[in-house]
Amino acid sequence: MRHFPVVVAGWLLCCCVPASVWAQKLECKPCSHSFGKIEIGKSASYSIKLHNAGSKTLTIRSVSKQGPAAFSLVDLSLPMKIKAGESVHLTIAFAPEAMGDKTGSFALGSTAEDSRLVLHVSGAAERSASPHLGVSPAMLDFGNVTVGSSASLRATLTASNGPVTISSDRATSSEFAILGLKLPLTIPSGKSVPVTIRFTPNGSGTDPAKVGFISTAADSPTLEPVTGTGVARGSFSVYLSWTGDATAVGYNVLRAKAKSGPFHAINTALESSTDYTDSTVVAGATYYYVTTAVNARGEQSPHSNVTEAVIPNQ
């Protein structure tokens, strides 16, 4: 017992307070917390340490809250006993559903010396990030493509900050087509899908255009620049050059349709230079070439190394 002398009408009285009550002291660390900015629809939690700094076990009997429903206590079971010198953690969650700054408090009622301990919380709610649809690479260049034929390149569509549903696609030029998407198509957040772009030039010249994807993304439509150059059909030729021989008075150029031969000369007379253009090739064929050196006595050298030429299709 702790005794306090009190004088009443000339008498000395002794008032006694049970030591078991004064021996219970509840402390918090920290006693307040700010959650900062949290997106609407998301949540955050924080644990506050409650400590019994007294010499006797104390009991938390009640909790009262002031403030919005965005603040709540997680997995709290009352009554809660805390032994002398021990600590527990009280978890507070913040899950805003509306914009604006929020403040609240939780008052803990206990058997401690100061029977009411108040915990203060605050936070701000902000709008959730809008879904985004990205496309890579940033640009597709098809280079030169023969008129009447096609070339295809692949791009990748990626959803972020939430799922994205693509409802339609389009191209600003009829020479470009979007393939591989069965619409409508929903891409989960963080996932990607491939898409093929095909370029079919209708005439000669360069056609810069854009392909686009209409979706639920905040930045819809998502556009990607594309370009390609149409090249007119034409005849083909093969240009050959080689290192000269000091003893040679001329050279023969021989051609075959297989690497192993047989090789036949395609020049009508000895070539005095060290280059030759074969203009008799056919589209879609593959040819193999060798050269020989001829000296003043008309003697011909062995074949040079074999060179391959693949002629494109018309």
SS3 label, residue 181: coil
- Averaged pLDDT, 150-164: 92
The pLDDT > 90 percentage for the chain reads 68
- Categorize the per-residue pLDDT at 19 as very low, low, confident or very high, splitting at 50, 70 and 90: very low
Q: Is the pTM of this model over 0.85?
A: no
For 275, other C-beta atoms within 10 Å of its C-beta total 11
Q: Which residues contact 279 (CB under 8 A, 6 or more apart)?
A: 235, 237
What the block records as the tokens of 90 is 């009280």
CA-to-CA separations, 123 to 98, 133, 149, 224, 251, in angstroms, rounded: 12, 30, 61, 40, 88
Cα distance between residue 290 and residue 102, in whole Å: 85
SS3 label, residue 19: helix
- Averaged pLDDT, 48-66: 93
In the chain the domains, ranked by start, together with CATH numbers, are 2-126 (2.60.40.10), 132-231 (2.60.40.10), 238-310 (2.60.40.10)
Cα distance between residue 90 and residue 67, in whole Å: 18
pLDDT at 234: 65
